[in-house]
Amino acid sequence: MHPKGGERFPRTGALCPRVSVRPKLGWSDEDYSAAADRKLGGSHKICSEFLQWGGTLDGAQVLEVGCGSGIDVLLVGLYPVRSVVGIDLELPLFEPGERGERTRGLAREVLEKRQLRDHVREVLESRPIRFAIMDATLMGFPDDSFDFLWSRAAMLEIMPLEKALTEMARVVRPGGLIYHNIHPYFWIRGCYKTGLVDIPWAHARLSPAEFRRFATESEGEATAIRRCQGLKTLNQFTLRQWRKMIGAGPFEILEWKEDRCSFAERLLEEHPDAKDSLLEGVEPRDLIHGGIKVWLRKKDHRANEDEDVSSVPVDDRSSPKLPVKG
């Protein structure tokens, strides 16, 4: 019996199955191909929506925050941008070893599907693409550096978020566009695998102490500690809180889309009692929305002043180098 009822919840990695874009050990060629297709589709969508919102990539200065593999940065670098920069706390594309090799393998697959037989190294050398290990809450760019900033699946992890939002507002020029694809925490998989225990939406229903007690009873103390520590690395915000925080910034919200997940809706029908035992502030809609997609325009308070958009001072030396094998 657990503290919120007694139903057993078949915890499984197959919850809301989708193609992973993070290459794993033992991936087949088909896995790489499917992940590359997903990467290409996602990148194409962001760029075409950017154009629809009136942006132009010709000569643009672009930043991805929390770029992970960096593959989206490579793809944007194929457009005639003035520069594109990817920042993250870690850059697996440049790591020696197995994880780096897998990331470069996916990058190669993506470039091949774009009919670019070039090695990643050649694309990096021939295009105005830069990467830097940099914390989104403390960016080393001058004010108003970028025409376009985007993040995908990173806002859940960037802490403290308020500081990052302030930094993002600072480095984007007035009138510049921002896109965030946010994975909200209280959705069934928003807690990542680390938060999935044998209670549906345990992370949205149990207090930290209850969660830890349940995980300890069912899986032992070491696993419970690992799970609880994992959850602490995620921004535990509701949809309402996301809207409030982003709305408080100097942005015009051009579009705010919350994506419903039909799998989560079905699961909620099977476990209707989940709705009756939610943590304070969490609403049923938080359980079934797997993404927020938001387009913002930085408000232009200086409409009548001369703009001083200087070049992004991330020079060649700040990009890490690929390992020799790359």
Ligand X SMILES: C[S@@+](CC[C@H](N)C(=O)[O-])C[C@H]1O[C@@H](n2cnc3c(N)ncnc32)[C@H](O)[C@@H]1O
Site residues (vs ligand X, CB under 6 A)? 21, 66-69, 87-90, 135-137, 152-154, 157-158
Minimum distance, C-beta of residue 192 to ligand X, in the bound complex (Å): 9
Q: At closest approach, how far in Å is the CB of 117 from ligand X?
A: 24
Are 199 and 232 within 8 A, CB to CB? no
Identify which of residues 127 and 152 has a Cβ nearer to ligand X in the complex. 152
Cβ-based nearer residue to ligand X, 87 or 268:
87
Smaller CB distance to ligand X: residue 57 or 67? 67
Nearest approach, Cβ of residue 110 and ligand X (Å): 12
Distance between CA atoms of residues 33 and 131, nearest Å: 25
For residue 6, the minimal CB distance to ligand X (Å) is 34
Cβ-contact 82, 71 below 8 angstroms: no
Decide: 186 and 241 in contact? Cβ < 8 Å. Answer: no
- Helix and strand totals (H; E) in the chain: 11, 7
Report in angstroms how near the CB of residue 129 gets to ligand X at its nearest.
15
Q: Which residue's CB is nearer to ligand X, number 154 or number 312?
A: 154
170 or 213: whose CB is closer to ligand X? 170
CA distance 166 to 164: 5
Closest residue to ligand X, Cβ-based?
Answer: 68
**Tokens, residue 94:** 């440049």
C-beta of 46 vs 81, nearer to ligand X: 46
- Backbone angles phi and psi of 248, in degrees to 5: -80, -15
The residues, ordered by sequence, that sit 6+ positions from 126 with a Cβ below 8 Å of its Cβ are 118
Following DSSP, what letter does each residue of 282-300 receive, concatenated? --HHHHHEEEEEEEEEE--
Residues 6+ apart with CB under 8 A from 132: 85, 86, 87, 140, 314, 318, 319
Please give the C-alpha separations between residue 191 and each of 6, 43, 59, 232, in angstroms, as whole numbers. Answer: 21, 25, 39, 10
Give which of 113, 171, 104 is closest to 323, Cα–Cα. Answer: 104
The minimum distance between CB 89 and ligand X, in angstroms, equals 4
Please, are residues 234 and 242 in contact by the beta-carbon 8 Å criterion? no
As measured in angstroms, the least distance from the Cβ of 223 to ligand X is 22
Q: Which is nearer to ligand X, 83 or 151 (CB)?
A: 151
In whole angstroms, the minimum distance from the beta carbon of 215 to ligand X comes to 23
Please identify, using beta-carbon distances, which residue of 234 and 278 lies nearer to ligand X: 234
Q: How far is CA 246 from the centre of its chain?
A: 16
